[in-house]
């Protein structure tokens, strides 16, 4: 890999750091919520071993009574890049111009601008890698962030060996379409403004505008009616079998308890066992603890974040709404190759090469995810 700047401050021994920072400083990786395989060039196979010990009556002769299965899963990094060109005229009208060296023809990028450009781009890239880790889907061919490879949640949802559960549910009896959409349920007692609700089961010509999508509750207008931020003006939507799935402060403790009880003791007692939740579920958990009088920072948190019955909760910024995943950290894998020629960060002044008064930013890297044992994964989500 290479790092090139017009300044000489970012060469030599520091050449590896920008790509490493971009790839390894994202929320999921920096928290230690996934195992990183840092030297995957084209494809890495990881063997999995399943074995048992079947007891039998003691005898002098050998009789096999156990079974061992060796299988493998793989990490195949996808090579990606992001590039941008910025004109000198843009920089000359911005605050950075004050830091450029004097002279009509001296448009060299200063160290401060180089650092700012790399740092800002790195932050954006790490966020998008986090999104790709969890929500990547090759089916999303028009999504420039998620389409490159399947993410952990996409793989788990499609895997019949992953045990699945549904979150809390309320059936709707009526839908009022409009610039905002009103839903009628049996009771809004356990709903709150700001809750995230996932709609499923609707019929009608425009049912796809609700089904599988998550919306925010904008207001609760009565004991049975609430408003979500779905635009359905003129749409045809019927409520046969339709309803909402949600995890909020009224049911988050029950959801976590159910997931923990459903997870076999051999998995949940592992030292690296963890619970993965989206931001709004983490907030609901904090609200539920505060409502119970535990108080912020007491009993349910440590220096690494939230805890439930002593088990680490990883609060993921790019995680599907109303979703909880439990598994071992070592069961989730992220693959890349930090020392590959495919990994490069550069910020180049183009005038000496092309005559153009422009700067080009380029970042190239690789990414892949997978998991080891589907039987060690337990997933709650709306389906």
pTM: 0.77
Six-digit token string for 122: 């790195």
Beta bridge partners, 83, equal: 362
For domain 2-51+68-158+333-374, the CATH class is alpha beta
Q: Reply yes or no on whether the pLDDT at 313 is more than 50.
A: yes
Q: Reply yes or no on whether the pLDDT at 98 is more than 80.
A: no
Domain with CATH 3.30.2400.10 in the chain: 2-51+68-158+333-374
Six-digit token string for 43: 């494809």
Nearest to 328 by CA among 310, 312, 317: 312
The percentage of the chain sitting over the pLDDT mark of 70, rounded to a whole number, equals: 70
pLDDT in tens, 119-154: 667 777 778 888 888 999 889 888 888 888 889 999
The predicted structure's pLDDT at residue 205: 94
Distance CA 359, CA 5 (A): 10
Distance CA 7, CA 2 (A): 14
Distance CA 266, CA 50 (A): 14
Burial code of 135-152, b = ≥16 C-beta within 10 A, e = fewer? bbbeeeeeeeebbbbbbb
Q: Reply yes or no on whether the pLDDT at 102 is more than 90.
A: no
Mean of all residue pLDDT scores within the chain: 79
Nearest to 130 by CA among 58, 54, 22, 222: 22
Q: What is the mean pLDDT of residues 248-271?
A: 94
Is residue 23 within 8 Å of residue 16, measured between CB atoms? Answer: no
Residue by residue, DSSP assigns 175-197 as EE-SSSEEEEES--TT--TT-EE
Is residue 45 within 8 Å of residue 340, measured between CB atoms? Answer: no
The predicted structure's pLDDT at residue 32: 79
SS3 235: coil
Is residue 264 within 8 Å of residue 219, measured between CB atoms? Answer: no
If one counts every other C-beta atom within 10 angstroms of the C-beta of residue 205, the result is 10
If one counts every other C-beta atom within 10 angstroms of the C-beta of residue 244, the result is 28
pLDDT in tens, 193-252: 999 999 999 999 999 999 999 999 999 999 999 999 999 999 999 988 899 999 999 999
Question: Which CATH number fits the domain 168-246, given the four candidates 2.50.20, 2.60.40, 2.40.30, 1.10.150?
Answer: 2.40.30
pLDDT in tens, 51-74: 556 666 767 777 777 666 656 566
Is residue 383 within 8 Å of residue 169, measured between CB atoms? Answer: no
Sign of CA dihedral 125, 131, 134, 140: negative
The predicted structure's pLDDT at residue 130: 86
Domain with CATH 2.40.30 in the chain: 168-246
Distance CA 151, CA 131 (A): 8
Q: Pick the residue with more confidence: 131 or 96? A: 131
The predicted structure's pLDDT at residue 4: 36
Nearest to 169 by CA among 247, 105, 231, 224: 247
Given pLDDT bands bounded at 50, 70 and 90, which one contains residue 6?
very low
Distance CA 140, CA 146 (A): 7
């Amino acid at each position: 890999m290479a790092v090139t700047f017009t300044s000489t401050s970012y060469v030599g021994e520091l050449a590896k750091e920008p790509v490493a920072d971009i790839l390894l400083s994202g929320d999921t990786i920096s928290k230690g919520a996934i195992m990183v395989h840092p030297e995957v060039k084209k494809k890495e196979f990881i063997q999995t071993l399943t074995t048992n010990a079947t007891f039998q009556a003691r005898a002098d002769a050998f009789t096999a009574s156990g079974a061992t299965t060796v299988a493998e899963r793989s990490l195949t990094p996808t090579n990606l890049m992001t590039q941008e060109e910025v004109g000198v005229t843009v920089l000359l009208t911005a605050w950075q111009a004050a830091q450029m060296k004097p002279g009509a023809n001296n448009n060299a990028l200063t160290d401060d601008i180089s650092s700012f450009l790399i740092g800002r781009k790195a932050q954006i890239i790490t966020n998008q890698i986090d999104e790709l880790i969890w929500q990547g889907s090759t089916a999303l061919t028009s999504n420039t962030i998620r389409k490159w490879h399947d993410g952990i949640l996409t793989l788990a949802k499609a895997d019949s060996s992953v045990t699945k559960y549904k979150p809390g549910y309320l059936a709707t009896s009526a839908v009022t379409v409009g610039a905002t959409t009103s839903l009628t349920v049996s009771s809004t007692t356990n709903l709150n403004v700001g809750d995230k609700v996932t709609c499923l089961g609707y019929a009608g010509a425009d049912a796809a505008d609700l089904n599988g999508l998550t919306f925010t509750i904008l207001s609760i207008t009565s004991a049975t009616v609430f408003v979500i931020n779905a635009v359905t003006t003129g749409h045809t939507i019927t409520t046969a079998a339709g309803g909402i799935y949600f995890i909020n402060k009224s049911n988050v403790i029950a959801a976590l308890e159910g997931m923990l009880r459903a997870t076999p003791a051999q998995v949940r007692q592992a030292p690296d066992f963890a619970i993965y939740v989206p931001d709004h579920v983490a907030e609901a958990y904090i609200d539920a603890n505060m409502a119970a009088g535990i108080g912020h920072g007491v009993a349910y948190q440590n220096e690494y974040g939230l805890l439930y019955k002593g088990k680490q909760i990883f609060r993921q910024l790019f995680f599907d709404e109303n979703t909880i995943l439990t598994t071992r950290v070592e069961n989730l894998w992220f693959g890349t190759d930090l020392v590959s020629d495919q990994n490069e960060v550069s910020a180049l002044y183009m005038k000496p090469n092309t005559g153009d008064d422009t700067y080009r930013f380029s970042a190239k890297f690789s990414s892949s995810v997978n998991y080891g044992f589907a039987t060690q994964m337990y997933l709650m989500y709306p389906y």
